[in-house]
A and B are shown apart, each in its own frame.
Chain A
Amino acid sequence: MRRRRKMKDWILKSLIWFCSLLTVLFLVWMILYIVSRGLPGINWAFITTPYNLFRNQTGILPMIVGTLLLIVTTLAVAVPIGVAAAIYLTEYARQGRVVRMIRFATESLAGIPSIIYGLFGYIFFKNTLHLGFSVLAGALTLSIMVLPTIVRTTEEALLSVNPSYREGSLALGATRLQTLFKVILPSAIPGIATAVILSMGRVIGETAAVIYTAGSVAKIPAVDRLLTSSVRTLSVHLYMVALEEADFVSAFATATILMIIIALLNLLANRFARKITDRQGMA
């Protein structure tokens, strides 16, 4: 009896081990594969020159700029709205039918394929609002796409703030707004940072919705037309060089840069959140 249980235990453990190992190995292998094929194509010129096939220039600087521009604009729109919505839903709204409906709507919104957001953005932002293919049209579309994630994640973060902080603050005669800004939001920062990281990930990885709205012009926008120009993001570029030009050297090199940028952005967001939690002494 005992031996059989031990045996079962052992099998289960090995199985779990094996699966974890498989996942990690697969990930490592994929990263190594991409990087090893991408590295040869990367040099200083590749990341610092423009892209112009007629002049035989295949640099990706415009795509790096375009990607960052789209991320920043999207976050600038989506984070304030999403955080404000989450605050309203958790702190102010009466927890009843309406809130349940809003929650249901946000959750459903998260499950819609991105191409549909793209189509909507194309019709509404690009055509109806006459924004054309532009960073703005792209960012607005992507904002709607990432809003559910930001709202849900921020809500979770706010709800997980120890309720005794709220009580303590109110009992000292603080108003709800003071309590929110001085105690609750600071404690929720790590959660909000997670929301930001997830959103960045979606913006970086998105192609369909971006092509439909921000377009695919591989040029660095003029400074005075930053938001109204079309840009091409790294993912869109990857898609184009791989499928349309069959230039796999460029594709893998772009993929490598893409992964490096994602890693850097995650690191940055984590650093930021860590700094704040450290200051609160929660670490």
Chain B
Amino acid sequence: MQKEISKKKIVVKDLNLFYGEFHALKAINMDIYEGEVTALIGPSGCGKSTFLKTLNRMNDLVEHVRVTGSITLDGNEILSDVDVVALRKRVGMVFQKPNPFPMSIYDNVAYGPRIHGIKKKSQLDEIVEKSLRAAALWDEVSDRLSKSALGISGGQQQRLCIARTLATEPEVLLMDEPTSALDPISTSKIEELCETLKKNYTIVIVTHNMQQAGRISDRTAFFLLGELVEYDLTERIFHRPRNEKTERYITGRFG
């Protein structure tokens, strides 16, 4: 299969994370492949979001966090002293609840490029249009770019957040349950988006929706109580899981 020979974008080795005394991630080993959609599944509280946030060092914001092990992005260690600003530019993140800034649609998308030093109006215009098109939102908002981003629908807001992230030209896109707050139509739009975006980006997505994982991901990782129980091609995870717990979870007979 072609998928199996694609390049390793992120390599996680023996990753442990502690919130104070609490051992939230236990000896995780995982390779994330370039140009694929990797889904993270597992029951609530198993550490999916925590794992996702180690990939762009958003865990730095939490007090009393301790991380051991290694994560490399294109072969470069990101857990030791790395420029987190540069890292987060390369590894973008979309959150569970759409969180557009209280400013215009245009300014939301231009936010990232602006803080990274782009000032020319024509250049910004170009980036904004390109990003909104990539997030399949351009046609819906092109006539009201100067209107507040808080005035559009939740599904549109989430796509705006995706556009905002794309505008900084990341290589990896982390999404934490990006559709859990959305209606079915918006959800399917974002799922389609994943399909097109993976041509240019490596996507890691957390989801509670088994069908969604099955539909959009190439590989699936099943987490349980801070451990990575099973990680394989999505097809295998869903049809021939090796671990009994994985099977029970996927078939909804868990707990």
Query: Which residues on A are within 8 Å of B, measured CB to CB?
Result: 162, 164-165, 167-175, 178, 182-183, 186-187, 279-282
Contact = CB atoms under 8 A, between A and B. Distances in A.
Contacts of A187: 102
A186 B148 CA distance: 14
Given A172-B165, A173-B88, A173-B89, A167 B112 contact: no
A168 B151 contact: no
B149 interface: yes
Contacts of B92: 171-172
Interface string B84-114: 0111110011010101111110000001100
B111 A172 contact: yes
Given A167-B99, A168-B101, A172-B164, A281 B150 contact: yes
Given A172-B115, A175-B85, A165 B150 contact: no
8 contacts: A164-B99, A167-B95, A169-B111, A172-B111, A175-B85, A280-B102, A280-B103, A281-B150
Contacts of B101: 165, 168-169, 183
B43 to A, nearest CB: 24
Contact of A164 (B58, B97, B104, B148): B97
Contacts of A170: 58, 61, 88
A171 B102 contact: no
**A-B pairs with the 5 shortest C-beta distances?**
A281-B148, A280-B102, A164-B99, A173-B89, A173-B88
Given A169-B111, A173-B168, 11 more contacts: A165-B101, A167-B61, A168-B161, A168-B164, A172-B112, A172-B164, A173-B115, A183-B101, A186-B102, A281-B148, A282-B148
Contacts of B156: none
Nearest to B87: A173
B62 to A, nearest CB: 11
A165 B161 CA distance: 11
Interface in B112-171: 112, 115-116, 147-151, 161, 164-165, 168
Contacts of B115: 172-175, 178, 182
A174 B88 CA distance: 9
Nearest to B83: A173
B56 interface: yes
B91 to A, nearest CB: 9
B164 to A, nearest CB: 7
Contact of B104 (A167, A172, A186, A281): A281
A170 B148 CA distance: 21
A158 to B, nearest CB: 15
Contacts of A165: 99, 101-102
Interface string B53-66: 00010100100000
Contacts of A172: 88-89, 92, 111-112, 115, 164-165, 168
Contacts of B86: 173
Nearest to B165: A172
A171 B85 contact: no
A122 B112 CA distance: 51
Nearest to A283: B148
Nearest to B93: A171
B148 A280 contact: yes
A164 B95 contact: yes
Nearest to A282: B102
A165 to B, nearest CB: 6
A108 B96 CA distance: 41
Nearest to A174: B115
B167 to A, nearest CB: 8
A280 B149 CA distance: 8
Given A173-B85, A173-B115, A281-B148, A168 B61 contact: no
Most buried by B among A167, A187, A281, A282: A281
Contacts of B111: 169, 172, 174, 182
A184 to B, nearest CB: 10
Given A281-B147, A281-B149, A173 B58 contact: no
Contacts of B61: 167, 170
Given A178-B115, A187-B102, A281-B151, A171 B56 contact: yes
A27 B229 CA distance: 69
B95 A168 contact: yes
Given A162-B99, A172-B168, A182-B115, A167 B88 contact: no
Interface string B181-212: 00000000000000000000000000000000
